[in-house]
Amino acid sequence: MSGKISAYLVVGGKYHDMDFARLELLKLLAENERIRTIVAPDYSDIDGIRDADFLVTYTCDVTPPEDTQKALREYVAGGKTWFALHGTNSILRFLEDGSVNSPREAPILMETLGSQFIAHPPIEPYTVTVSDPDHPLVKGVEPFEATDELYLCDYHGDLHALLETEFTGKAPGFVDEDWPDKERRLVYYIHTVGKGEVLYLTLGHCRGHYDMVPVVDYYPEIERCSWELPVFYDLLRRGIQWSVDSVEASKSTAATA
């Protein structure tokens, strides 16, 4: 099948090097000459998102109003793919004592995504293992070590795990600091919503010197985390191709109906 495929890329929010992430994702999308991409910092152009064949997001603490949350859910439920990355599921509030609260708000958004970020331990290496080695999104991927934010989340719905890790301990600096249970921590999963899917990949933290303003004026260390790993780019490429394949399957079905 040939013809243009439209992608809508939302990259924006706080505490991350959005310029770096935006550029890297645009380069990956541009590897497929059929993909034409609209870029935005948030979800306010919901009509543009509705018109897109698939949605890719890399955000932090970007929460659309309720009517937009409903529209995003309808977009996926209608048969579209949403490839959500890293902090798309985050809501952050810095408290007077310096701690970070992740209030359990925006249930429509979080239930559509399938998870909500609550906390993460300090950035340090952890092992990512494959949950479903036969699935095309991760087939052939070997366990790997990531130095990244290990997302500790609330989960919603029936999630198809692709990658996971383990963590038991504390997440200092977050209101929800204690994580004593033995539950697995999902790193990559599929959440089926109606006729469509959300692919969620929690890896991909990045931060430059000026991305913590106004919390701090200058952040001393540039962080690239999983962006330094070839396997991460492989996962991103597979997620984009999966989205394209879903578009083609949907158009083929419509053409023969």
- Predicted confidence at residue 1, as pLDDT, reads 56
Give residue-wise pLDDT tens across range 110-121: 999 999 999 999
Sign for the CA dihedral angle at 215, 180, 114, 58 comes to: positive
For residue 38, pLDDT over 70 is answered with: yes
- Summarize the confidence of residues 181-197 as an average pLDDT: 96
In the 3-class helix/strand/coil scheme, how is the chain assigned residue by residue?
CCCCEEEEEEEEECCCCHHHHHHHHHHHHHCCCCEEEEEECCCCCHHHHHHCCEEEEEEECCCCCHHHHHHHHHHHHCCCEEEEEHHHHCCCEECCCCCEECCCCCHHHHHHHCEEEEECCCCEEEEEEECCCCCCCCCCCCCEEEEECCCEEEECCCEEEEEEECCCEECCCECCCEECCCCCEEEEEEEEECCEEEEEECCCCCECCCCCCCCCCCCCCCECHHHHCHHHHHHHHHHHHHHHHHHHHHHHHHHHC
Mean pLDDT of the chain: 97
pLDDT band at 150 (very low <50, low <70, confident <90, very high): very high
Domain ranges of the chain: 5-256
Fold classification of 5-256 is Rossmann fold (3.40.50)
Q: Flag the least confident range among 10-19, 109-118, 231-240, 247-256.
A: 247-256
Across the range 197-225, mean pLDDT stands at 96
Rg (CA), the chain: 18
Q: What is the pLDDT of residue 2?
A: 75
pLDDT tens, position by position, 67-78: 999 999 999 999
Mean pLDDT over 146-168 rounds to 98
Residues 14-37 have a mean pLDDT of 98
Residue with token string 């013809």: 3
